[in-house]
Homo-oligomer: A and B are copies of this chain.
Amino acid sequence: MKKKNNPSCDWKTPLTEKAPLTDKNRIYQHKGDCSWKGIPTEKYKDTEESWSSILRRVLIGDRGEDTRFHVRYFEIEPGGFSSFEKHRHSHVVIVIRGKGQIRIGEKTKTISYMDTVYIKGLTPHQLRNPYSEAFGFLCIVNSRRDRPRLLK
């Protein structure tokens, strides 16, 4: 899946993979290993190496919900990383699987289970998994948000 123009957590879900847009009550049962019944897995492979080895599961935001936020689960495989980027909107990250590193501005920290990070708007940031097990986290963002800008 090559999408040179959108190498970011905010790649678009193809319409064909989207469930009907209906604002109704839902319970997504956890199947184990941070996958949920009724939530598809989307994989992203970027050929330009700004991104590597990431999957996404959109828990809230793709199915007609009226929230002003989206809740996504991302999982970075060992050796993988997200693009180094910034944007005006802020990010909330809550680790729910394994551990990884987060670069926020000039700092890099190791984060693990349930550590919660608030990344203020316009802060350069990147998530990496230099460890041997999957690194998974919830990422909550405003539903209306600007497009990320890639950094070097």
A10 within 8 A of B: no
Interface hit among A13-21, A77-85, A106-114? A106-114
Contacting residues, chain B, for A23 (C-beta < 8 A): 90, 120-121
| Nearest-Cβ distance from residue A9 to partner chain B, whole angstroms | 16
A127 within 8 A of B: no
Judge whether A119 and B28 touch: CB under 8 Å: no
Identify A116's interface contact among B30, B116, B118, B143, CB under 8 A: B30
Contact A67 to B94, CB < 8 A, known contacts A60-B116, A118-B25? no
A1 within 8 A of B: no
Q: Bound complex: CA of A115 vs CA of B30, how far in Å?
A: 5
